[in-house]
């Protein structure tokens, strides 16, 4: 095999194997040492090729586990009236949800202001993470007013919270205020998604209003290379 002299050439070889399906989504890539031996390249070129492909969204790194072929990006409408689970099913994607915590707590001050809570008033706080096609890509932190969602923590919180709000609490019509910004992941957030501390993410905050009153605040932290947002509008 002719040695590859630049990281661009190494990246092109791996990209061709990914595009052809030889390296399938979710499969683990050879280590840098194995790439060096297989392709006859320097460690620097192997490492630079990996980072280049990561920037293209073709591969991702799990902390202390190595490099993996990335699934295709998840198409997502943050103003959706249906659940993420419904959106995943519509696009033929496998979605897995894990409940991390569910408890009564006093939320951050910014959430207190949005929900118009009394000082030290507690809310139902729910933390979950979600995997798309086997990759953890989303961390959710949701805060619900107790008077709007009584006994919420006794419900099944692994399913659709959107459907639960409709079916259990009768909130058929909601108004959403959505804010999106880039944000690095904290150490704890990064650990939940198995990435490095400070990894870039898209931070989505959604105010849920019923009859003009904010009853819930949902915060989502998406890995930046795992999502494509599509919104529909009317003019």
> What are 5-33's pLDDT values in tens digits?
688 888 888 899 888 888 888 889 888 88
> What are 80-136's pLDDT values in tens digits?
767 788 888 888 889 999 999 999 999 999 999 999 999 999 999 999 999 998 899
Measured CA to CA, the distance from residue 227 to residue 212 in angstroms comes to: 30
Higher pLDDT pick, 142 / 6:
142
> How distant, in Å, are the alpha carbons of 126, 156, 157, 203 from that of 99?
8, 10, 7, 19
- Residue 1 pLDDT more than 60? no
> What are 184-220's pLDDT values in tens digits?
999 999 999 998 889 889 999 999 999 999 999 999 9
pLDDT of 92 = 86
Using DSSP bridges, classify how beta strands 135-144 and 123-132 pair: parallel, antiparallel or unpaired: antiparallel
Predicted TM-score (pTM) of the model is 0.84
Higher pLDDT pick, 163 / 102:
102
Contacts 24+ apart (CB under 8 A), 35-40: 35/10, 39/1, 39/3, 39/4, 39/10, 39/13, 40/1, 40/2, 40/3, 40/4
- Across-strand partners of 99? 128
């Amino acid at each position: 095999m002719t040695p590859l002299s630049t990281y661009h050439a190494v990246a092109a070889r791996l990209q061709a194997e990914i595009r052809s399906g030889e390296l399938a989504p979710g499969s683990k890539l050879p280590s840098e040492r194995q790439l060096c031996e297989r392709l006859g390249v320097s460690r620097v070129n192997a490492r630079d090729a990996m980072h280049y492909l990561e920037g293209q969204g073709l591969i991702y790194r799990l902390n202390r586990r190595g490099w993996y072929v990335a699934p295709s990006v998840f198409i997502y409408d943050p103003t959706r009236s249906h659940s993420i689970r419904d959106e995943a099913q519509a696009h033929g994607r496998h979605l897995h949800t894990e409940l991390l915590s569910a408890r009564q707590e006093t939320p951050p001050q910014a959430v207190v202001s949005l929900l118009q809570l009394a000082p030290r008033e507690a809310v139902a706080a729910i933390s979950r993470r979600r995997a798309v096609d086997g990759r953890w890509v989303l961390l959710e932190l949701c805060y619900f007013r107790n008077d709007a969602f009584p006994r919420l923590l006794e419900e099944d919180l692994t399913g659709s919270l959107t459907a639960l709000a409709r079916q259990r609490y009768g909130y058929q019509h909601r108004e959403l205020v959505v804010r999106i910004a880039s944000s690095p992941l904290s150490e704890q957030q990064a650990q939940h998604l198995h990435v490095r501390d400070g990894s870039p993410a898209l931070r989505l905050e959604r105010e849920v209003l019923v009859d003009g009153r904010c009853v819930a605040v949902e915060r989502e932290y998406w890995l930046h290379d795992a999502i494509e947002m599509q919104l529909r509008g009317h003019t």
